[in-house]
Amino acid sequence: MKKTLFAAALAAAFAAPAFAADAFKFDAGHTYVGFEIDHLGFSQTLGEFTKYDGTLNLDRANLANSSIEVTIDTNSIDTDQADFDEHLRSADFFNVAAHPTMTFKSTKVEDAGNGALKVTGDFTMLGQTRPVVLDVKLNKVAPHPFRPTIEVAGFSATTTIDRTQWGFDKYAPAVGAEVKIRIETEFNRELPAQ
């Protein structure tokens, strides 16, 4: 019964009179792009990127036709340690002088049921592109309760990558090769005037 009610709610959330996908833009004020990596077995180093941009094209009638593109400013890395952040910006790690951005462009969206999606895409870092699969949860699609002219699509996403596959291998495996990524994000679009 619960599954049926959820499926009905999900269908209602994605029901739309338009046949084309709706375009949403990042709400940077309600987005978090963070990572976690093992530090010599002693602890997990946590950090985030604070500057990014992207678009979501949401096809409510057929989620498989939806797509997302994201660009992350590598210079915006923040671990709350200024000296460490500068080292991470250096050629040892993100090499921001040569590679000022990372990008993700979806190539496939799969409905995994109960609000879960598998989003496969091309992730480019340090000039190399490899496929990555994001485990995505659709949290809610609805008009903003305080800004009725805005519709919001909210998602949570996680994945784990092996950084060495992108040539990002400094100090591996002493400093973990696996990087856990967590994304909390909202996308907005202006609703058509009634």
Question: 3-state class of 23 per DSSP?
Answer: strand
Lowest model confidence (mean pLDDT) among 13-17, 60-64, 90-94, 184-188? 13-17
- Residues 13-30 pLDDT 10s: 443 344 479 999 999 999
Q: What is the CATH number of the domain that holds 19?
A: 2.40.128.110
pLDDT in tens, 126-152: 999 999 999 999 999 999 999 989 999
| Band of pLDDT at residue 1, cut at 50, 70 and 90 | very low
| Whole-number percent of the chain with pLDDT over 70 | 90
Strands 150-162 and 175-190: antiparallel
Report pLDDT digits (tens) over 35-53. 999 999 999 999 999 999 9
Q: What is the C-alpha to C-alpha distance for residues 119 and 114, in angstroms, rounded to an integer?
A: 15
Check pLDDT > 50 for residue 8.
Answer: no
CB contact set of 6 (below 8 Å; sequence gap of 6+): 114, 115
What's the pTM value of the predicted model, to 2 decimals? 0.86
Q: Give yes or no for residue 2 having a pLDDT over 90.
A: no
Closest CA to 179 of 150, 159, 155: 159
Split at pLDDT 50, 70, 90, the class of 115 is confident
**Buried-state track 121-136, b at ≥16 Cβ within 10 A, e below 16:** bebbbbeeeeebebeb
Say what percent of the chain tops pLDDT 90: 81
pLDDT, position 146: 93
pLDDT score of 122 = 98
Into how many domains does the chain fold? 1
**Whole-number pLDDT of residue 114:** 84
Give the domain extent around 113.
2-190
User: For position 15, what pLDDT does the model report?
Assistant: 39
pLDDT score of 111 more than 70: yes
Please, what is the end-to-end C-alpha distance for the chain in angstroms?
36
DSSP 20: S
